[in-house]
Every structure is written in C-alpha cells, then in structure tokens.
C-alpha cells in the first residue's frame, strides 16, 4: 500500500510540474505569436493560435513517444 501511495504522489507531482511547464510555454508562445502576427485579439487569431499550439503538441507528443520507445529497446 505504501508503495502505491508513493507512486501516486510521484505521478501527481510530475503532472503538476507538467502543467506549470505547459503554462510557461503557453505564455512564451503567445508572446511569439503576438510579435509575428500582431495582436491576438478576435476569433480568427485565437483559432490560428489554438491550431498552431495543437500542431506543436502533436509533434512533440509523437517525438517523445518515439524517444521513449527507443529508450525501452536499449534496456
């Protein structure tokens, strides 16, 4: 039971740090977006921003997944 609690706490702490990192990246990407495309007010720029962030997230997820697979194969 103790081991399970430690594993759950580790998962929650990891998720919390992931959220903090995501929020930091969100802020950075918003600033870059504003510098490149001007103000991000209105529906169209917000949708474009959401699409760009989604594409980046998918690419990053695929890349991390492949890296994890390679690491498992090396074990």
Q: For the chain, how far is it from start to end, CA to CA, in angstroms?
A: 28
Residue with tokens 């695929």: 62
Would you state the pLDDT for residue 40?
Answer: 59
Residue 28 · residue 47 · CB < 8 Å: no
Residue 53 · residue 30 · CB < 8 Å: no
* Residues 1-19, mean pLDDT to the nearest whole number: 84
Range of the domain at 55: 2-74
Would you state the pLDDT for residue 6?
Answer: 81
pTM value?
A: 0.57
Domain count, the chain: 1
């Amino acid at each position: 039971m103790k081991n399970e609690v430690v594993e759950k706490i580790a998962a929650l702490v990891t998720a919390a740090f992931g959220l903090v990192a995501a929020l930091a990246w969100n802020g950075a990407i918003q600033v870059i977006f504003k510098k490149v495309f001007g103000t991000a007010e209105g529906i169209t720029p917000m949708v474009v921003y959401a699409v760009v962030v989604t594409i980046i997230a998918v690419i990053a997820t695929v890349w991390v997944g492949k890296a994890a697979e390679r690491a498992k194969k090396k074990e």
